[in-house]
């Protein structure tokens, strides 16, 4: 973890690609006390395609029309 003063952070923010190139956490301090913590961005998880999603879904053995009709009958 890098530790920077507010002045160093302010000067370094004009070139963030150099300041954060190593992907490490940066702690910004003022008068020896931490005031900010800059964390690296986590990579996003990849999303499955629609085909893969649908393949993993269970198929209904009873048509939805029948389920709705049964539900309406139960409410009467």
pTM for this prediction: 0.49
Asked whether residue 64 is assigned to any structural domain, the reply reads no
| Rg, the chain, Cα only | 27
pLDDT in tens, 11-61: 888 887 777 778 788 899 999 999 999 888 877 777 788 888 888 888 888
User: Which pLDDT value is given to residue 15?
Assistant: 81
CATH code: domain of residue 23 = 3.40.1620
Asked whether residue 7 is assigned to any structural domain, the reply reads yes
User: Which pLDDT value is given to residue 31?
Assistant: 93
Asked whether residue 47 is assigned to any structural domain, the reply reads no
Domains of the chain: total: 1
Least confident segment among 2-6, 29-33, 42-46, 64-68: 42-46
Q: What CA–CA distance (Å, rounded) separates 10 from 75? A: 66
Asked whether residue 46 is assigned to any structural domain, the reply reads no
User: Which pLDDT value is given to residue 55?
Assistant: 87
Q: What CA–CA distance (Å, rounded) separates 20 from 28? A: 13
Residue 16 domain boundaries: 2-38
């Amino acid at each position: 973890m890098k530790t920077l003063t507010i002045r160093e952070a302010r000067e370094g923010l004009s070139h963030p690609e150099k300041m954060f190139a190593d992907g490490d956490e940066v702690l910004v301090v003022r008068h020896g006390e931490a005031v900010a913590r800059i964390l690296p961005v986590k990579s996003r998880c990849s999303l499955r395609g629609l085909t893969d999603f649908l393949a993993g879904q269970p198929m209904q053995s009873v048509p939805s029309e029948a389920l709705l009709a049964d539900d309406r009958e139960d409410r009467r």
